[in-house]
Structure 1
Amino acid sequence: MPLDTQLNSLGFAKPPAETRVVVAMSGGVDSSVVAAELAREGYDVVGVTLQLYDHGAALAKKGACCAGRDIHDARRVAEEMGFPHYVLDYENVFKDAVIDEFADSYLAGATPVPCIRCNERVKFKDLLETAKDLDADCMATGHYIQRKMGATGAELHSAADANRDQSYFLFSTTREQLDYLRFPLGHLRSKAETRALAARHGLSVADKPDSQDICFVPDGNYASVIEKLRPGAADPGEIVHADGRVLGEHRGVIHYTIGQRRGLGIGGLNEPLYVVRLDVENRRVVVGPKEMLATRTVPVREINWLGNGGFADAGEHHVSVKVRSTRPPTEAVIRPLSATEAEVELLVAEEGISPGQACVFYENGTSRVLGGGWIWRGY
């Protein structure tokens, strides 16, 4: 490429009008602002919204994502800004790739993160391929994360606004996907900036509340969803102290998570007790003192590596990791066991680490996301 070639804001050496970009539109303010901004800059914008589950049930649910109300809002933004908009029926794909695994993971005693699987298996897989079929040069989303060009190609970086950063939910983005994706909001310093842009464009969604993380779980009641999908999943069993004492009866393992203290129904004891293990096979909820929750060793598999070189080639990796989306990164050493498995040693013990959660890797001293994997065994 000649040195004097001018790149547009999406990184292509041609005018915006000749650059087609598919915008994944959830119907919320973030993706709406992305679409509106790119349309204002003169790009050939095509909006696409995925119908992920039943319209009727979702219309009555405030804060739902990718259902009836949001599809209406996305279509309205496209009309306001004057670009085409399509709705794709992905209900079956979403159920097979996300919802079923969510239910099965809970039944196995894990604490899944379905938003990661949705990005990995639906939005950044099937929708991305649809964008290519539409001859788009790239696909843009409203995620708060940054794509930066490094010495060896595109890199993934945390968002400028730490309070909005979504890197934990996007660790499984592959290098090939990263080449094609764009995240125009990642550099913004606050959600207020996003809403100001929406107001500037006169978007009808400018003041729309943020959607909740798990779009298909009404009111955060995971158990009711799982019971509906897997009848008989909430069979009762024993609540057992780690020392073997039977303390009471629970109403189904799916109602409990590692680290839980409230709602155990075993009052009257002299010590505060926490859920330290879920024995699914024997339908037992095992409780113990808080110190039993602390661990420094985290087994991780299905690793997606975005760092330089091969994951298993360089020996140990000294990084920072997040073992839960709400926790700050903590220093750790990754010891690869294969190209996709590793043992992560935390320098300071963390409490409540649960199988089914993600362990996301960050480069020390920078905002770069080095990938991550899935925690697969509890302690």
Structure 2
Amino acid sequence: MKENRVVVAMSGGVDSSVAAALLKMQGFDVIGITMKTWGFMEVGGAPKHESGCCSLDAIFDAKNVADKLDFPHYTLDFTKAFENTVIENFVDEYIAGRTPNPCVICNKKIKWEELLKKADSLDAKFVATGHYAVVEFNNETGRYCIKNSADNKKDQTYALWGLSQESLSRTIFPLGNYNKSQVRQLAEEFNLKTAAKPDSQEICFVADNNYERFLRERIPETIEKIGGGDFVYHGKIVGKHRGIPFYTIGQRRGLGVSFGKPVYVKNIDIKKNIVELGDKDELLNSFALASGVNYVSKSILNEGEVVYAKIRYSDKATPAQVVFANQNNLKVKFIEPKSAVTPGQSLVLYDNSGYLLAGGTITSEN
């Protein structure tokens, strides 16, 4: 295995393009790989001009950057693995009344585990991506650590909590010490085609951001079988919902009921087929319980330990206290209650220096 050979996951965007360019400038033997994980024919929702990480435009943009910087580029088909892991989980979670976080699963299972297999076949020691994050090795603990990037607005550590120590030991994040404006400036200096390319905002395989359309097309018989049910507000039936899979905790828009004031999805009861509505203050929770825990910068957390917790990508990390922790489960108490703790999303814990301690999938707010 060649110590200076690195496989770079290239989405066709500016971040992965600059990551590859920086590694090339540092003397690495770079191989670019674009991972085709889905197609508009399979997932629907195609805009008039197809775009996104798996479109032909994205593949051609990645190839253009590789040609410009003079390193080999390949497009590989990962659609079966992506379908069986990311998309199936996405559908199953919504059916179960939870709100999935597909990026976490994709990072762990596809962008690392599958990509590392390909790196092995190419005799490459490392894989690299354009994520805004920092990976370090702690000599005292003997563990690889993930730390917040220099760009707080673009930091992507929240979605990286599932990476194993083995995966991290072979990972390079070239953009960890840059902010977005610096990355775009570097792309211009390198004269890369992707320099001004806009960032992608939506879940990649739901390009139109219409999850209801996606689910209805993907599992029409299941959706019909689930059917609609009751909206309940303070114990009273106040309307009919379209189906459990189409709602998420904290949702305010698109409910189809009018109260003359904002109301929110407070709870989803799949057994009774009820979507419970509440006022904003009723969304506040003091606790969160998570399962499927992966420890990153520490091997275990201790009861009573103070950490900084995030419950969604856009959330601010705020102080919390560890109530319980073992190798599979975590329970924390927020010093200040958080709004809309949502089963299916990730509970991610940091220390006061920005090191990612551990993460897990939220199972309950209690």
Query: Which of the five TM-score ranges fits, normalised by the shorter chain?
Result: over 0.9
Does the 8 A contact of 1:75 with 1:85 survive in 2? yes
Q: Does 1:192 align with 2:181?
A: yes
User: What is the TM-score normalised by the length of structure 1?
Assistant: 0.89
Shift of 1:147: 1.2
Does the 8 A contact of 1:63 with 1:209 survive in 2? no
**Residues 105 and 42 (structure 1 numbering): CA distance in 2 closer, same or farther, change over 3 Å?**
same
**Residues 134 and 109 (structure 1 numbering): CA distance in 2 closer, same or farther, change over 3 Å?**
same
In structure 2, the partner of 1:52 is 37
| 1:236 equivalent among 224, 228, 233 | 228
| 1:105 equivalent among 93, 100, 105 | 93
What is the DSSP-based 3-state SS (H/G/I as helix, E as strand, rest coil) of the residue aligned with 1:176?
helix
Does the 8 A contact of 1:295 with 1:353 survive in 2? yes
Shift of 1:272: 3.6
Does the 8 A contact of 2:3 with 2:124 survive in 1? no
Q: Counterparts in 2 of 1:346-361, with a 5 A limit?
A: 346-361=334-349
Q: Does 1:276 align with 2:266?
A: yes
Q: Does 1:371 align with 2:363?
A: no
| 1:319 equivalent among 302, 307, 310 | 307
Q: Does 1:204 align with 2:193?
A: yes
Q: Partner amino acid for 1:371?
A: A
In structure 2, the partner of 1:34 is 19
| 1:154 equivalent among 139, 144, 150 | 144
Shift of 1:66: 2.7
| Residues 275-313 of structure 1: CA deviation (Å, up to 9, x unaligned) | 1011223322111222221111111111111233x416x
| 2:205 equivalent among 201, 209, 216 | 216
| 1:43 equivalent among 28, 40, 53 | 28
In structure 2, the partner of 1:8 is none
Does the 8 A contact of 2:297 with 2:358 survive in 1? yes
Q: Could you tell me how far apart the structure 2 residues matched to 1:39 and 1:338 are?
A: 42
| 2:291 equivalent among 301, 314, 320 | 301
In structure 2, the partner of 1:130 is 118
Deviating 4+ runs (over 4 angstroms): 55-63
User: What is the TM-score normalised by the length of structure 2?
Assistant: 0.92
Q: Could you tell me how far apart the structure 1 residues matched to 2:334 and 2:216 are?
A: 36
Does the 8 A contact of 2:143 with 2:296 survive in 1? no
In structure 2, the partner of 1:11 is none
Does the 8 A contact of 2:95 with 2:244 survive in 1? yes
| Residues 201-244 of structure 1: CA deviation (Å, up to 9, x unaligned) | 1111111111124101032101111111211426222111132x
What is the DSSP-based 3-state SS (H/G/I as helix, E as strand, rest coil) of the residue aligned with 1:102?
helix
Q: Could you tell me how far apart the structure 1 residues matched to 2:4 and 2:47 are?
A: 35
Q: Could you tell me how far apart the structure 2 residues matched to 1:301 and 1:272 are?
A: 32
In structure 2, the partner of 1:329 is 317
**Residues 62 and 331 (structure 1 numbering): CA distance in 2 closer, same or farther, change over 3 Å?**
farther
Q: Could you tell me how far apart the structure 2 residues matched to 1:218 and 1:55 are?
A: 9
Q: Could you tell me how far apart the structure 2 residues matched to 1:63 and 1:348 are?
A: 41
Q: Could you tell me how far apart the structure 2 residues matched to 1:317 and 1:62 are?
A: 48
Q: Could you tell me how far apart the structure 1 residues matched to 2:365 and 2:35 are?
A: 35
| Residues 305-345 of structure 1: CA deviation (Å, up to 9, x unaligned) | 1233x416x44432111011111101111233531112111
Percent identity between the two aligned chains: 38
RMSD value over aligned CA atoms?
1.9
Q: Could you tell me how far apart the structure 1 residues matched to 2:166 and 2:54 are?
A: 25
Does the 8 A contact of 1:64 with 1:212 survive in 2? no
Structure 1 residue runs of 5 or longer lacking an equivalent are 1-16
